[in-house]
Each structure stands twice: as structure tokens, then as C-alpha cells.
């Protein structure tokens, strides 16, 4: 049986490893333009606020990659195919290019790329895949990228379970399920993506609808909202979750469930923007706030990734 060796580039946003790396990280996000001292301090203070300056995204990415490797090993035992996972981060080492280079050093000629973000935008997943493709071309590696997996049944099942948990928690506190508003959210992007016919907003709505249907939420009981918009002086997609909370409170809803479906791990945008900022706004407005658990190492998420990798590497 002839061996087929496939490299799997698992891509994630990346995070600093220590507080003194925050400046370099932020400069990379800003495409080489260093942040002002005020901007830097503001970001450092947000990292400090999440459990004293830890960077949970790195640990979750490591564990997701290890779990994916284990799943792929199991699927390919005695098949003559081997998958080897490499990490490639967007804004921190090991960068996307480092991952492809490591594959080239190991003699890999064939690769699949997948991003730890379920929804495609030209400005998010599209950017990761472009960088990976360009580096693969330099090394003569055949590269196929997975664009999205936002409706994979196991992903939806894991997310439905999480919404259900929070509905149950409210019910146990004496709240009526149908009075709780579910706020699905994802990272905002500049508004100009809409003119570009970018699939990102529609894919996010598709995921939201699938979860709402399986969770038996009425149409009035859920909505999609954006979060974590950048402060760049250009218009970003809205409404922002902080404004949506005001709207929900104004309608007399007593409580919300925040379901950040655009993210797959615990990290700054979840632990700060939602658990600290959005929760505080909810407290001020006098409404309940609970967030769904992040997917992290949920086996159904890992199987979703493995299914897409195997599908993309079919000859
Ligand atoms: O925990 C961590 O250390 C990292 C958390 C983190 C994740 C993440 C995911 C996404 N982002 C997306 C788009 C943008 C755009 C800009 C932008 C800026 C930042 C900054 C930080 C940051 N992002 Fe991020 N993002 C995370 C963290 N992001 C920190 C810089 C300070 C700030 O604006 O808050 C604006 C860039 C610019 O200035 O031009 C655009 C998208 C995702 C979800 C998809 C993905 O994971 O790739 C989209 C996690």
C-alpha cells in the first residue's frame, strides 16, 4: 500500500505569550503600525482584567490541535494515509508561514488548511487561506483550504446544547424560558464587506437560525448582533451587543443569553467583551446575563474539523 502523507495547517487568531509581547502582537494586527501608548495600555489592561493577564487562547488552540490530531490518527489507522497537524497563527508565532515551512522541512507535498473559525469572510478566513496558499506555492506544496463549516450538524448540536443549558439555568432560577432573549454574536467587520457580497453575515444568520430552530425558540426570542468592533474611524457592522442590550431591556425582556457563535474558544473577545463589559451593561440595565460555554475541546467540534479535513483531502 502506498503511503499518503497530508499536512494539516490548523490556523487560529494567535495571542501573545506574555504581557511584554502585547505591543508586538498589536502592531502585527495593525499591519505594522504600532499602537499609541494609550491604545497599548487599554489593550494590556483588558488582558490584565481576564484572570490577571493570562492568554487562554493559546492553551485552547494547542488542545484543539492535539485533539484533532488524535481524531485523525484514529480515523486513518491502517489506511496508508497519515495526517500531521501543524499550527499556523494569524498574528503570533508560529505564524501561518511558519507552519507551511515546517511542513516543507518535513517533506510534505500535500496540505489541507482549516481555520478555527466556522464562518467565511474575505477579511477573516479568506485572509488566512490566502497567506497559506502563497506560502505553499513557494514550497511547491499542493494546498486546499476549508472555507467554512458553519452548518455542520455536530457543530450545531454542540451549540444547541449550550443554549439549552443556559435556558435551563434561567428556568431553575424561576425565569420563564420564553421571556429570555438569545443574542447570537460574532466579531464585527467593517461595513464595506456588505458591498463586497461577503457571505459572513448570511452564514452567521444561517447558524443562528439552525440553533434557534433546534432549540424551539420563537422568532421574537432571538436575534443576531455584532460585538468587538474595532475603533478605526470607519463604519463597522452593527448593532453592537451593548446597544442591543439596551434595546432588549427597553422592550421589557428580563434576561439574555449571549451565544458568541463566531468564536470557538475562551479568549479576550469572550472573557472581556462579553463576560466583563456586556455583563456589566446588563447589570446596569437590570437584566440577567448568561453566556453559553465556549466550544473549546468539545468532541463534536473536533469531529466537525476532522470531517472537513478528510473531505477536503479526498483525491
Ligand atoms: O485572546 C486573544 O488574545 C485574541 C482574541 C481575538 C480573537 C479575534 C478574532 C477575530 N478578530 C477579527 C477581526 C478583527 C479586525 C480587527 C481586529 C482587532 C483585534 C485586536 C485584538 C483582537 N482583534 Fe480580532 N480577535 C482578537 C483580538 N480583529 C486584541 C486589536 C485591538 C482591538 O481592536 O480590540 C481590526 C484590525 C485593524 O485595526 O485593522 C478586523 C475577526 C475575528 C474572528 C475570526 C477569527 O478568529 O479569525 C473577524 C479570537
pLDDT tens-digit map of 59-75: 999 999 999 999 999 99
pLDDT digits 0-9 by tens, 132-165: 999 999 999 999 999 999 999 999 999 999 999 9
Distances (CA, A) of 41 to 34, 36, 47, 117: 12, 9, 10, 28
**Ligand 1 and 55: CB distance under 6 A:** yes
**Ligand 1 and 236: CB distance under 6 A:** no
Ligand 1 centroid distance, CA of 115 (Å): 14
Protein residue whose Cα sits closest to atom 39 of ligand 1:
30
How far is 103 from 144, CA to CA, in rounded Å?
14
Q: Are residues 247 and 234 in the same domain?
A: yes
Q: Are residues 13 and 142 in the same domain?
A: yes
Atom of ligand 1 nearest to the CA of 119: 44
Q: State the binding site for Fe-coproporphyrin III.
A: 13, 30, 46-47, 128
**Ligand 1 and 43: CB distance under 6 A:** yes
Backbone angles phi, psi at 142, to 5 degrees: -75, 125
Q: Give strand pairing partners of 190.
A: 236
**Ligand 1 and 86: CB distance under 6 A:** no
**Ligand 1 and 235: CB distance under 6 A:** no
Neighbours of 38 (CB within 10 A): 8
Q: Are residues 43 and 56 in the same domain?
A: yes
Give the pLDDT confidence score for residue 1 in this predicted structure. Answer: 56
Tell me the H-state helices in the chain.
22-29, 37-49, 56-76, 96-105, 125-138, 153-172, 192-195, 200-214, 241-250, 268-271, 279-285, 299-312
Q: Are residues 227 and 282 in the same domain?
A: yes
- CA nearest 301: which of 152, 90, 115, 119? 152
Give the pLDDT confidence score for residue 2 in this predicted structure. Answer: 67
**Ligand 1 and 268: CB distance under 6 A:** yes
How far is 269 from 278, CA to CA, in rounded Å?
11
Mean pLDDT of the chain: 97
Give the residue numbers spanning the domain of 136.
4-149+298-312
Q: Are residues 102 and 165 in the same domain?
A: no
Q: Give strand pairing partners of 95.
A: 89
Q: Are residues 27 and 48 in the same domain?
A: yes
Ligand 1 centroid distance, CA of 107 (Å): 33
Q: Are residues 143 and 224 in the same domain?
A: no
What is the CATH classification number for the domain harbouring 87?
A: 3.40.50.1400
Q: Are residues 103 and 180 in the same domain?
A: no
**Ligand 1 and 124: CB distance under 6 A:** yes
Atom of ligand 1 nearest to the CA of 230: 33
Ligand 1 centroid distance, CA of 188 (Å): 9
Q: Are residues 171 and 145 in the same domain?
A: no
Q: Angle between the 22-29 and 37-49 helix axes, to the nearest 10 degrees?
A: 110
Ligand 1 centroid distance, CA of 140 (Å): 31
Ligand 1 centroid distance, CA of 151 (Å): 23
Q: State the binding site.
A: 13, 30, 46-47, 128, 187, 269
Q: Are residues 194 and 140 in the same domain?
A: no
Give the pLDDT confidence score for residue 235 in this predicted structure. Answer: 95
Q: Are residues 123 and 186 in the same domain?
A: no
Backbone angles phi, psi at 265, to 5 degrees: -140, 165
Provide the 8-state DSSP code for 217. Answer: -
**Ligand 1 and 22: CB distance under 6 A:** no
Ligand 1 centroid distance, CA of 178 (Å): 33
Q: Are residues 166 and 144 in the same domain?
A: no
The total domain count for the chain is: 2
Ligand 1 centroid distance, CA of 255 (Å): 28
pTM over 0.85: yes
**Ligand 1 and 267: CB distance under 6 A:** yes
- List the 180-187 sheet strands across, edge first: 222-227, 180-187, 255-259, 288-291
**Spans in the chain with pLDDT lower than 70:** 1-2
Amino acid at each position: 500500500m502506498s503511503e499518503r502523507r497530508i499536512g494539516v495547517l490548523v490556523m487560529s487568531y494567535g495571542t501573545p505569550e506574555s504581557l511584554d509581547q502585547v505591543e508586538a502582537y498589536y502592531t502585527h494586527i495593525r499591519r505594522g503600525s504600532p499602537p499609541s501608548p494609550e491604545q497599548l495600555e487599554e489593550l494590556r489592561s483588558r488582558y490584565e482584567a481576564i484572570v490577571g493577564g493570562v492568554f487562554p487562547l493559546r492553551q485552547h488552540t494547542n488542545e484543539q490541535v492535539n485533539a484533532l490530531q488524535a481524531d485523525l490518527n484514529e480515523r486513518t489507522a491502517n489506511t496508508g494515509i497519515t495526517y500531521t497537524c501543524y499550527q499556523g497563527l494569524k498574528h503570533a508565532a508560529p505564524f501561518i508561514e511558519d507552519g507551511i515551512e515546517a511542513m516543507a522541512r518535513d517533506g510534505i507535498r500535500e496540505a489541507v488548511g482549516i481555520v478555527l473559525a466556522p464562518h467565511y469572510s474575505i477579511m477573516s478566513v479568506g485572509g488566512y487561506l490566502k497567506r497559506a496558499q502563497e506560502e505553499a506555492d513557494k514550497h511547491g506544496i499542493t494546498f486546499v483550504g476549508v472555507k467554512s463549516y458553519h452548518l455542520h450538524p455536530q457543530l450545531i448540536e454542540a451549540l444547541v446544547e449550550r443554549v439549552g443549558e443556559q435556558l435551563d439555568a434561567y428556568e431553575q432560577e424561576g425565569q420563564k424560558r420564553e421571556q429570555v432573549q438569545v443574542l447570537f454574536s460574532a466579531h464585527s467587520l467593517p461595513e464595506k464587506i456588505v458591498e463586497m457580497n461577503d457571505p459572513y453575515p448570511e452564514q452567521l444568520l444561517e447558524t443562528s437560525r439552525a440553533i434557534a430552530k433546534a432549540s424551539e425558540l420563537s422568532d421574537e426570542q432571538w436575534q443576531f448582533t455584532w460585538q468587538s468592533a474595532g475603533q478605526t474611524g470607519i463604519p463597522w457592522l452593527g448593532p453592537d451587543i451593548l446597544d442591543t442590550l439596551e434595546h432588549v431591556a427597553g422592550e421589557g425582556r428580563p434576561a439574555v443569553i449571549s451565544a458568541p457563535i463566531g468564536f470557538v474558544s475562551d479568549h479576550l473577545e469572550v472573557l472581556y467583551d462579553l463576560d466583563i463589559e456586556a455583563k456589566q451593561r446588563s447589570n446596569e440595565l437590570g437584566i440577567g446575563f448568561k453566556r453559553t460555554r465556549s466550544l473549546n475541546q468539545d468532541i463534536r467540534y473536533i469531529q466537525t474539523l476532522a470531517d472537513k479535513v478528510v473531505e477536503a483531502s479526498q483525491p
